Structure 1
Amino acid sequence: MKKTITRYTCLLAASFLLLTACDSKLDVLPTQTIDESTALSTSRDVEVTLIGCYDGMQDVDVYGGAFQVASELLGNDVELNFGGTFQNLLELFNKQITTANSTATLTWNDSYNTINRCNNVLSALDVVDEDKRARIEGEARFIRGSLFFELVRLYARAWGDGDNNLNPGIPLVLTPTRGVNEDNYPARSSVAAVYAQVLDDLTKAKQLLPASNTIYATKNAASAQLSRVYLMQGNYAGARDEANAVIESGRQRLVTPFSSLFFTYLTNGGANPEEYIFSMIVTQQDGSNAINTYFGVNFSAIPGTSGRGDIRVLPAHLNLYEAGDVRRNFFVTTNNTFTQKHLDTFGNVLLFRLAEMYLTRAEANFRLSTVVGATPLEDLNRIRTRAGLGAATTATLDAILRERQLELAFEGHRLHDWKRTRRNIGTRPYNSPMLILPIPQREMDVNKNLVQNEGY
């Protein structure tokens, strides 16, 4: 079951720009399609299509929850338990995924549909008002680059697991899809090629985006995503510098108490805390939060909470916290234990927040023996202090990674952090084929240029 809030749909952004014809004989020129020169002929048309890109981005099978839930279920073995009845999620948790898995299928389809909307925007920049053109291009590139990044992390081998130039990644579709036939079915580009495109999109987005952009993508959002890409590649200088750029911008700050980071609708009127860099906005009229659906639970002591209570937190996770850590208290227990991070029915879906940037800078500085922005110990202690802990006297890589694990728990980092640091997930090595989603069978059946992942 998906919790779906009514959303407006941008028809101009549909993959093939289809419109329904009227059967009336009074229609002198009946049409079933609108030519792209008409559909995207004005700046306003392109702006509306860009809104459709965000609408696709916040879909429950994309950044509205599927990316994050898949990472947590695939990346956990003993700290979480899945007690729900949905076969698609049970397959992810058990690492016994079929090629017909609905999460793998819908995440692939809905992501590429959104990428196509971005391609429509990018193909029509010449009609956009000059004072808006750079921002609109930056937003479309940010969304497209982010989706390529998430897809290659889920459907391909991790960066550095073998030859990046030979490992199949995902198809790179960079122009609008007007029609599909056997001559233009895309093959999978290499992992290296996909990462190159991701960096190209996000770097250009960072250059084009404004520092402030209401609820939409900003320069700091692009830098935060770049820091993740570089960290995944083991490019610690790049990850450090992008994280440092966000921190030094001064546009976000660590907020206290820790609990004020969440419940954006229940206690913050729907507004993001000042620590948030970028999120998917959810209201009673628009948006969706599938993380709430599966991680959340209706807890009577906190009105306005909801969720299926499918994903439960186990003692193995709770026992990781030190005495006095306020984050250890941010759970509720009924028959099972649940994180409070995702109880809010209409809570915004967090993508990036400042604490992650401090932890990325700390890790990168430590690995490189550099001091850019602050020492690793200073950044580590910023997070520890906010959690109510005493300051550490030394910084180690294990301490930084442990702090990252606890601070960012259940926010969609688990699988990717374990893969990039080459840690086993249970008894499975980080590069087990069972930790990679299959190319959906329906795609394999139609597109003979695709190759399936190992083990499927």
Structure 2
Amino acid sequence: MNIKKTIIKFSGILSVLLLISCDDNLELTPQQDIEVKDVITTEKGVKNVLIAAYEVAGSNDLLGGGIHNASELLGNDQLINFGGTFNTLRQYSIKQITVINTDVSGIWIDSYRAINQANIVLANSDVIKDEEERSRLEGEAKFIRGAVYFELIKLFGKTYQEGGQNTQPGVPLVLLPTLNLDEIKEPSRNTVEEVYTQILTDLTEAYNILPEANAEFADKYVVKALMARVYLQQQAYEEARDAANEVIQNSAFELQDNYEDAFNNPEDAREDIFAWQITIQNGRNEMNTHWAPENFGGRTGLDIAVNDEYLEIFDDSDDERRTFFYNADNGRRASTKWQEQYANVPFIRLAELYLIRAEANERLGTTEGDSPLNDINRIRTRANAAELTAITLDDILLERQRELAFEGFALHDLKRLGGSVDGIDANDDKLVLPIPQREMDANPNLTQNPGY
């Protein structure tokens, strides 16, 4: 996805519900003031809007790091500590978030920017004359929309309850583009069930029309891998197992030979099913900013450090993941996962798919694709940890924590599996983000989450 920054000024369009934006990060063609309605009448214009959607989805506020930080700081119980000066991140860490938290606002704002851009592509794809190319662009737009809504619902809605009606408030579903002030709506919040239904509709439709390979952009297997993650969050284990197995069995992705080679890559690694592209041109790696010290591109003193308690979850001192750290100048322990300032941010690694398949098979009592023991030993062997001779569900969940640590899963796994963090129950109101106050002020149809 070698996205280069191109510029189109969306002049004259305001951001009332933040479904559209006119800030420079969205600009698409150099040094021109062009109305959106003119841009979307050409193939090049629609393609540029899709590129912008990728850029925003992978930006610092969203899947370039902002969403990861929210999940890790809210969901980790004594495994990491925040020692930085950003009060917005500190609020995550101490579970006392305000309605004016600008990191929360950034997640909401940029999510709906990316969604609106995906909607613009879908509403104007008929300008793409080649049918195969049109289908590809539509599939990519639906992938982006589905992926962003999945992040929104996990952060701003209460946990999906398997077998429940899931009528708890989710987030507004906006499926049509907003191009000017006359089109701005004031949507209310859809239910958690409705949002998950739309996510899977988008991803299923994207899967059906995307090719098996699409360079660094979303392809069929990227979508199926994300579906496995969505199904797992819903505790739909059979569907999660089958989706993960399809990617493992049929795609060309392979585990890196060494654990360390899965991270800090300027180009996609061979186990990257999808990664958000970070370059000097399009901005910083937000994970590097807060998880690395100043001499590696981060902030002075290291904002987020790894505690000794994390080391205690390992059962083998030779496990390379246990030593995948380095000390900052002040002695605080930094994760090596985010050492490079302009490295790509992995979104879905093949290792996660093995973990999903193992967990789902274990819960179902099946061995679809391979046994849970073999899948977990495949992950352990790559990290130089001793193979297990028998396995339980707890073993699999602990292996998941070791392998995917600090990659944005902490809060969502906590909510899915139950338990507590810092004495706070997984389904507590404090672990759901507030609707930003500026959104509440602008839209009378929004309702605030409890506790805010």
Alignment correspondent of 2:429: 433
Q: Distance in 2 between matches of 1:156 and 1:287?
A: 29
Mapping of residues 18-417 of structure 1, within 5 Å: 34=35, 36=37, 38-130=38-130, 131-160=132-161, 164-180=165-181, 184-264=185-265, 270-299=266-295, 305-308=296-299, 309-322=302-315, 323-334=317-328, 335-417=331-413
By how many angstroms is 1:12 displaced? 6.1
Q: How many residues are aligned here?
A: 431
Residues 233 and 416 in structure 2, CA contact (< 8 A), matched pair in contact too: yes
Say if 1:397 and 1:185 are closer, same or farther in 2 by CA, change over 3 A.
same
Q: Distance in 1 between matches of 2:189 and 2:63?
A: 22
Say if 1:97 and 1:161 are closer, same or farther in 2 by CA, change over 3 A.
farther
Q: Distance in 2 between matches of 1:71 and 1:238?
A: 24
By how many angstroms is 1:139 displaced? 0.3
Q: Distance in 1 between matches of 2:241 and 2:4?
A: 40
Say if 1:76 and 1:35 are closer, same or farther in 2 by CA, change over 3 A.
closer
Q: TM-score, normalised by structure 2?
A: 0.91
Q: Distance in 1 between matches of 2:98 and 2:247?
A: 40
Residues 50 and 137 in structure 2, CA contact (< 8 A), matched pair in contact too: yes
Alignment correspondent of 2:442: 446
Residues 292 and 338 in structure 2, CA contact (< 8 A), matched pair in contact too: yes
Output one character per residue of 1:377-401: Cα deviation in whole Å (capped at 9) or x when no partner.
Answer: 1101101111112211111000000
Q: TM-score, normalised by structure 1?
A: 0.90
Residues 9 and 52 in structure 1, CA contact (< 8 A), matched pair in contact too: no
Q: Distance in 1 between matches of 2:413 and 2:248?
A: 21
Structure 1: gaps spanning 5 or more residues: 20-31, 265-269, 300-304
SS in 2 for 1:177: coil
Residues 88 and 103 in structure 1, CA contact (< 8 A), matched pair in contact too: yes
Alignment correspondent of 1:25: none
Range 315-324 or range 367-376, more displaced: 315-324
Say if 1:384 and 1:420 are closer, same or farther in 2 by CA, change over 3 A.
same
Q: Distance in 1 between matches of 2:175 and 2:221?
A: 24
Output one character per residue of 1:299-338: Cα deviation in whole Å (capped at 9) or x when no partner.
Answer: 5xxxxx2212100000000121222111111100231111
Output one character per residue of 1:187-227: Cα deviation in whole Å (capped at 9) or x when no partner.
Answer: 00000000000000011111111111111111111011101
Structure 2: gaps spanning 5 or more residues: 14-18, 24-32
Range 343-352 or range 280-289, more displaced: 280-289
Query: Partner amino acid for 2:368?
Result: V
Output one character per residue of 1:77-124: Cα deviation in whole Å (capped at 9) or x when no partner.
Answer: 200100001110000110000000011111101110111011000001
Q: Distance in 2 between matches of 1:180 and 1:151?
A: 24
By how many angstroms is 1:180 displaced? 4.8
Task: Report % sequence identity.
Answer: 43
Q: Distance in 1 between matches of 2:372 and 2:185?
A: 49
SS in 2 for 1:171: coil
By how many angstroms is 1:149 displaced? 0.6
RMSD: 2.3
Q: Distance in 1 between matches of 2:172 and 2:321?
A: 40
